[in-house]
Structure 1
Amino acid sequence: MGVRERKEREKEQRRQDILVSARAAFEKHGLQHTSMDRIASEAELAKGTLYIYYKNRNELLMALIAEDLERLLEQLEIVAKGRERADKKLLKAVTTFHTFSTQNDFLYRVMTHMDMGELLCAQDIGPSEAVIAFKQLNDRMLEILVKLVQEGVDTGLYKLDNPVRYVVLQLLFALKGTMVILRNRMVPPDWADMDAAKVMHDTAVLFIKGMTCPLTTKQQTTHTSKVPS
């Protein structure tokens, strides 16, 4: 390995070490109270060194979000390639999304507390690599869901009154709204201990049922199973 290659590898390793330390700092101090000073302290780096790799905390945030979306997409793509019926795959995709999010406290906080539009438009980020990566990954995730719903339309399982992409956005609005409500306990006291996974599942099932066509006698012999429940 030449000197240049070794330096590039060391630089990339330092970048990854910074991301690990930044994630720990955000989880420890919260999204709003984690500064570059705290991240530098967590990473045991001089603040000036940190700025060589990331120009501000918002860029670091975007890099971490993109890192998580990449891992989530790997799981969603496996679901999308499955041989199950379209509605079952869509429900499995929702379950995968929720399970991944709840097992990753950083991403869960981002989705339920942060204004992503404000973060993306922040003047101190600009069109950085992290922002570009996030947008590309977000588009890929949207396309996976669009294909799953389109598959249901093409096989006669779904009947939609709106464009597929619009319907997918409605589904995402419903799911994120559910997550925000449960995360912030915006429910009556008697419902405070609701099973979040079950609520997400039931929300997705209700949405899928709303898209599903009533089966004709001929279709009932072809589709041997009901809408997932």
Structure 2
Amino acid sequence: MCGRLSQSCGIQDFVAALNIPNALINYAGDQPFELYNAAPSSQLALLHQEGQFLRADMVRWGWRPHWAKDRAASRAQVERVNHNPYFRAIWPHRAIVAIDNWFEWVAEGGPKKQPYLIRRKDRAPILCTAIGQYPSAEHESGEHDGFVFLSSDSNGGMVDSHDWRPVTLNPELAREWLNPATSKERAEQIMLLQWEPTEAFEWFKIDRPVGSKAT
């Protein structure tokens, strides 16, 4: 997964895609986000479940444990994340980050890499799995808040630019992923084995600069 994405719709569009009837605690606002070229360290809308409620917060993309000295991670490899001490503190804190699309850059023989836009064929929001440290009833927002996308190399990338891709779920599995009652074992099974197939997506070259509104 490359480090650029779009999150342009409003939170209600993302909630509708999840099809969760629970009441929404909304700290993300009601206006469209209009982020067409978001990069790590951007504030993105993140959805998580708090008891019987769905909650939306703006959370920084990127996280590191308080003891780490290196740069914040933007993604975590699903094959090892629940056994990695780096992510131990946030592994139980599951979230969904809904996006419109993401970008990849491919070397095609010219002096500059060619950007590609990747989105769902049905143009529905892409429901990306994430883990993080974020506000809740027990935890006020703080400087150490942040999240990472879960990604995998098991099936390769979409446009052969590299091996990584985000772990995305259909709405039914996304709801199960968010549910606090879902066991850690079941959550691990979902993120490793039940993500959306490549056939759900389409990708194409972008002739205009990345960051323009996709059509």
Q: Normalising to structure 1: TM-score of the pair?
A: 0.26
Q: Name the one with the larger strand percent.
A: 2
Greater gyration radius: 1
Q: Name the one with the larger helix percent.
A: 1
